Structures are given as structure tokens and as C-alpha cells.
């Protein structure tokens, strides 16, 4: 795979130490898979304030560690072939404009950014690999062999580990980010879709869509320590997020249209909240007060109050929303 500079805009913007303006206003960035764009939502009013075209199927989405950029994984509509639409698109939070585009291997779907902002790891669904990209240069620094149909990616809070799930081989690959090597693989439940670490980095939670479960991995011993049935094993868990205080785990169950709220310590399912149709991505506000789900079939985002576990707003966004990232406090 060759390294290609995809954008004329280049990465200069990222390298410039611009005046640090903390973004006080909380803003949601929602990736839309079918409309090939990102909806920008003012979290105070729950209204769409901008739509940013990104030139491909927008799926994985995250905010940079410094909060100034949003990264979006985009791909073309033809898997098995690499094109310029297979990229990580970088959006400036302040100007809401695309400022750079990094080549990311074939068909990038999900990714994780290391907490120090140095690198990004993307899963290449049809390639059976994960690609590590240096975010200062846009260059590929490693291509790692993981399982078949890699999907979910998460970085540990200390930036040492990157976990990648693979749907067809039912595996979780453990990557040492210091050496960029796969140091182990765990056999998890059927069709693992997403993974999230606890804020202390002690555990990781893996959703298994066909298995209908949430697998708990001890990050230190690298063992599976528990498997929690979601909706009695009949749920279809996809997206997963852990609250900033580490006390709650939120699991989006795509085909049942629900968000399961789980106590991270006891692993008891506290409640199941009905959200929009086919929720996929789930994320929390930095203060942990709100949970957001991107609902693919109802083309909206559900805003759930984490204190009451009730849907307090539903925001119409683009077509087939996939994920949500939160910028600002």
C-alpha cells in the first residue's frame, strides 16, 4: 500500500500552533453514512447548525485530544477497491471546514486516536488489517494483521494499548502501541462490533452483535473475566461507551432500538432505554451528563439524560447517521 498525499490543503493547519481558544460551546459532530457528510449540532439548542460534506461514506468519528479537530473515517461505496474516498478526513472544529485528508488503507470504518494525539489506528474492514497513521505527517507507520473483518477500535487511556475487534473471526486483537505489534488475541463472542476502555484502563468492554453479549476483558491479565447477556442474550449490541467517571457502560442495541445502561462494577443491567431506530454509535458528553446515540434508520440522534435515563431530545440529522463525537465541554 502506497502512501498518498490526498489533499492539497495538506496538514499545515494541524502543525501550526494556533492561538489556543478553548471551545466553550458543546457541539456534536454526527457522521452520516449515506449522505456522505457530517451534521454539526449545537448541544445547547439541539439544532443542526452546519452540514459538512466529506466526500464518502462517513462512519467512525472522534474529536482530537486537544478538542480542536474532528476526525472522520470515510470510504467509497465499493469495498475491495481502494480509492481516494477511503480516508480519514480532518475537520476544524472552529471553522467547520475540512482541513486535511489522510489516506487510511482500504475501507476504513472505525478508529481510535491515542490520547497524546500522536497517532491514529484505523480498522480496514475488507483488508483484515489495522493501519497506524502518524497524525503529524499523515504517514502510515504500521499495518497490523488482525482478524477477518476488523471493526471496533479503542485506545487505552494511557495510550499503551489499542484493541481491535474482528467480526468474522470473533477475535479481539491486542496491539502494543509502543512497538506496534499484535501481542495477543482473545476469542470473544459472535460478531464483535465495538470496544471501549474504562477511564482507569483496567478493563475493556466488547459488544458481540450476534452473540447478544458484552464481554469484559481484564486489560492487565488479558483474560476474559465476564460475559454479560444484553436483553437476555437477544439484544443486538453494537456501539459501546463508558461514562467519564467509569461507573456506567452504555450499549446501543441496533436492531432492538435500545440503549442498555449497565453498572460497570456489578455488571447489572440497570435499565434499557428505547431510543431511535437502529442506534449504532454511542458517546457521552465530557461531563457525563448526556448520552448520545446515532440512529441509522430514523436519521436522528437521541439525547439521553444520564441521571434520569430518559430521552430528552431527538435531533434530525443527515441520512443514515453512524456515530457521534462531542467537542467542547
Q: Toward another protein, which CB reaches closer, 262 or 291?
A: 262
Query: Are 159 and 116 in contact, with CB atoms under 8 Å apart?
Result: yes
Q: How far is the CB of 86 from another protein (least distance, A)?
A: 15
Q: What is the DSSP string of 25-82?
A: S-EEEEEETTTTEEEEEETTTTEEEEEEE-SSEEEEEEE-TTSSEEEEEEE-S-TTS-
Q: How far is the CB of 134 from another protein (least distance, A)?
A: 26
Cell of 201: 484502563
Q: How far is the CB of 226 from another protein (least distance, A)?
A: 7
Q: How far is the CB of 327 from another protein (least distance, A)?
A: 31
Q: Toward another protein, which CB reaches closer, 224 or 313?
A: 224
- Which DSSP helix (H) or strand (E) runs through 14? helix 12-15
| Closest listed residue to residue 128, CA positions, set 87, 79, 83, 161 | 79
What is the spatial distance between Cα 23 and Cα 6, in angstroms, rounded to a whole number? 28
Q: How far is the CB of 60 from another protein (least distance, A)?
A: 16
Phi and psi of 204, rounded to 5°? -130, 145
Cα 32 to the center of its chain, rounded Å:
13
Q: Toward another protein, which CB reaches closer, 141 or 187?
A: 187
**Where along the sequence are the contacts to another protein (CB under 8 A)?**
79-80, 125-126, 128, 146-149, 167-171, 173, 184-191, 210-213, 215, 221-229, 232-234, 255
Q: Toward another protein, which CB reaches closer, 86 or 149?
A: 149
Q: Toward another protein, which CB reaches closer, 67 or 192?
A: 192
Amino acid at each position: 500500500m502506497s502512501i498518498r498525499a490526498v489533499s492539497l490543503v495538506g496538514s499545515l493547519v494541524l502543525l501550526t500552533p494556533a492561538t489556543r481558544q478553548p471551545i466553550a460551546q458543546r457541539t456534536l459532530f454526527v457522521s452520516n453514512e449515506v449522505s456522505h457528510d457530517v451534521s454539526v449540532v449545537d448541544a445547547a439548542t439541539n439544532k443542526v447548525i452546519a452540514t459538512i460534506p466529506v466526500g464518502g461514506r462517513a462512519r467512525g468519528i472522534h474529536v482530537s485530544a486537544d478538542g480542536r479537530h474532528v476526525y472522520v473515517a470515510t470510504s467509497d461505496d465499493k469495498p475491495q477497491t481502494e480509492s481516494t474516498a477511503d480516508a480519514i478526513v480532518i475537520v476544524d472544529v472552529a471553522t467547520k471546514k475540512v482541513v486535511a485528508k489522510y489516506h487510511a488503507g482500504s475501507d476504513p470504518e472505525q478508529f481510535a486516536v491515542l490520547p497524546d494525539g500522536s497517532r491514529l489506528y484505523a480498522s480496514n474492514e475488507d483488508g483484515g488489517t489495522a493501519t497506524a497513521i502518524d497524525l503529524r505527517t499523515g504517514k502510515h507507520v504500521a499495518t497490523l494483521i488482525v482478524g477477518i473483518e476488523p471493526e471496533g477500535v479503542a485506545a487505552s487511556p494511557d495510550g499503551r494499548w489499542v484493541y481491535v475487534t474482528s467480526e468474522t473471526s470473533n477475535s479481539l486483537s491486542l496491539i502494543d502501541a509502543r512497538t506496534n505489534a499484535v501481542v495477543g488475541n482473545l476469542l470473544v463472542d459472535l460478531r464483535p462490533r465495538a470496544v471501549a476502555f474504562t477511564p482507569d484502563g483496567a478493563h475493556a468492554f466488547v459488544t458481540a452483535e450476534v452473540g447478544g453479549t458484552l464481554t469484559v476483558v481484564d486489560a492487565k491479565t488479558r483474560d476474559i473475566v465476564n460475559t454479560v447477556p444484553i436483553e437476555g442474550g437477544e439484544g443486538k449490541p453494537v456501539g459501546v461507551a463508558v461514562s467519564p467517571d467509569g461507573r456506567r457502560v452504555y450499549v446501543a442495541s441496533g436492531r432492538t432500538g435500545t440503549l442498555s445502561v449497565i453498572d460497570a462494577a456489578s455488571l447489572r443491567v440497570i435499565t434499557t432505554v428505547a431510543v431511535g431506530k437502529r442506534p449504532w454509535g454511542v458517546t457521552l458528553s465530557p461531563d457525563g451528563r448526556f448520552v448520545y446515540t446515532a440512529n441509522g434508520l430514523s436519521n436522528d440522534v437521541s439525547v439521553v439524560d444520564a441521571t434520569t435515563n430518559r430521552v430528552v431530545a431527538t435531533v434530525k440529522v443527515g441520512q443514515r447517521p453512524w456515530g457521534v463525537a462531542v467537542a467542547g465541554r
